Structure 1
């Protein structure tokens, strides 16, 4: 009989984030030797990485790290919430965001190529995925520079690590308002900082759509230009941060709130796990 207990299975499973059956089999094969069981799980996991390539990764976490005048925000994804809250997965995310921030990576490709204690981030993720037994994927990475930063990481469930991450770059001294605006970004999900940053092709497409809608509603042709521009402005209030109604007071725009607080917003990034 193998020299291990149910408690040993539970402890190893919680350490690695592996499945109950796989953990038990590894301990049986290793005759209760935990280190050998880890190696067995790793080797079996490495073979399974390719098989898991097409699986979806809708769980995971967001992480951020400041480094020398910039902040790196990333999303590390996995298959299940069991792994997402596992200590090994969280530790992996810490190593990945440290390496990505040190490299100033502003893309997944750059982050995967970054050095992480003598190996690339890509290899680090592959090695850990082999042990964990799930597909692990670095889905998104942004590094933004600025004078000051507000980092807001939001937990959608108390049992899980942060699922929504926001980095706001700004200048000014009102850190409290900066944090409130970062929280607004988390909730309102703007796509761009200003209306001028919205691609012209997107604006024209929206203009075409609302023109057709207005005509189908029977609006007078002479009134169309004013109606269309009003609806295009409503589009800007959806996608442009500075144009949005402030979440804490919808009578004010985010631009007005920032201006009154003496803040200049220069950039932001927002990631939500699985979105």
Structure 2
């Protein structure tokens, strides 16, 4: 009989985020030696990483840090909420975030190539995925420069780490309103700052759609231009932050809130796990 207790099994499983059966087998194979069992799980996991490549990663966390006037936001994804809330997964996110900030990485590609000790971030994630026994992927990385920042991290479940993160870069001194804008972004999910930031092809596609809808409704041809522009305005209110109705008072838009507070938003990031 292997020389380990139920407490040893539970502690190792919680430390690594591995499954009960795999952890038990590793401890049995290692004769109760925790370090050896960890190595066994890592080696077995490494062989399984390729097999897990097509699995879905709908859980995970968002994390953020600031360095030298730049705030970084990332999404680290995994398969289950058990792993998402595990301390080992949280430490991996912290290590990846530190490497991303040190390298000034602003994309997944540059982040994966960033040094992390004596290996790269890609190697670090792969090694940890092998131990954890789940697919783990760095899904998104963003970097935002600015004079001042407001960060809002939201937990969709109190037992899980933050799964929705917003970073707002701004000028001005009203931090309270800046935070309120970050919360608004978390709820309203704008994709751009201003209507001018919407890609021209996206605007043209929307114009075609609302034109077809308006004609199918039998609207008079002479009235179409005004109707189409009105519907395009509604579209911009959905996707452009400054055009949106303010979440805390839909009688005014975000642009007016910022103007009254003496703030200028220069950029924002919004990541939601799995979205």
Short-chain TM bin: over 0.9
Structure 2 counterpart of 1:28: 28
Structure 1 counterpart of 2:270: 270
Structure 2 counterpart of 1:160: 160
Structure 2 counterpart of 1:202: 202
Structure 1 counterpart of 2:211: 211
Structure 2 counterpart of 1:116: 116
1:86 paired with 2:86, answer: yes
Structure 2 counterpart of 1:233: 233
**Shift in Å at residue 103 of structure 1?**
1.2
Structure 1 counterpart of 2:174: 174
**Shift in Å at residue 258 of structure 1?**
0.6
What are the within-5 Å matches in structure 2 for residues 35-114 of structure 1? 35-114=35-114
Secondary structure of 1:193's match?
Answer: coil
**Shift in Å at residue 118 of structure 1?**
2.0
Structure 1 stretches of 4+ moved >6 Å = none
1:243 paired with 2:239, answer: no
RMSD: 0.6
Secondary structure of 2:77's match?
Answer: strand
Q: Normalising to structure 2: TM-score of the pair?
A: 0.99
**Shift in Å at residue 116 of structure 1?**
1.2
* Structure 1 range deviating more: 96-105 or 160-169: 96-105
Measured against aligned partners, the alpha-carbon deviations of 1:20-67 in whole angstroms (never above 9, x if no partner) come to 000000000011110110000000001111111111111100000100
Structure 1 counterpart of 2:151: 151
Q: How many Å separate the matches in 2 of 1:94 and 1:131?
A: 17
Structure 1 counterpart of 2:253: 253
Measured against aligned partners, the alpha-carbon deviations of 1:170-219 in whole angstroms (never above 9, x if no partner) come to 00000000000000000100000110000011111101100110111111
Q: How many Å separate the matches in 2 of 1:24 and 1:119?
A: 30
Q: Which runs of 5+ in 1 are unaligned?
A: none
Structure 1 counterpart of 2:193: 193
Secondary structure of 2:50's match?
Answer: helix
**Shift in Å at residue 119 of structure 1?**
1.3
Q: How many Å separate the matches in 1 of 2:246 and 2:254?
A: 5
Q: How many Å separate the matches in 2 of 1:217 and 1:35?
A: 70
Q: Normalising to structure 1: TM-score of the pair?
A: 0.99
Q: How many Å separate the matches in 2 of 1:103 and 1:189?
A: 29
Secondary structure of 2:268's match?
Answer: strand
Q: How many Å separate the matches in 2 of 1:154 and 1:102?
A: 25
Secondary structure of 2:2's match?
Answer: coil
Secondary structure of 1:76's match?
Answer: strand
Secondary structure of 1:35's match?
Answer: helix
Secondary structure of 1:265's match?
Answer: strand
Structure 1 counterpart of 2:128: 128
Secondary structure of 2:57's match?
Answer: coil
Secondary structure of 1:106's match?
Answer: coil
> How many residue pairs end up in the alignment?
275
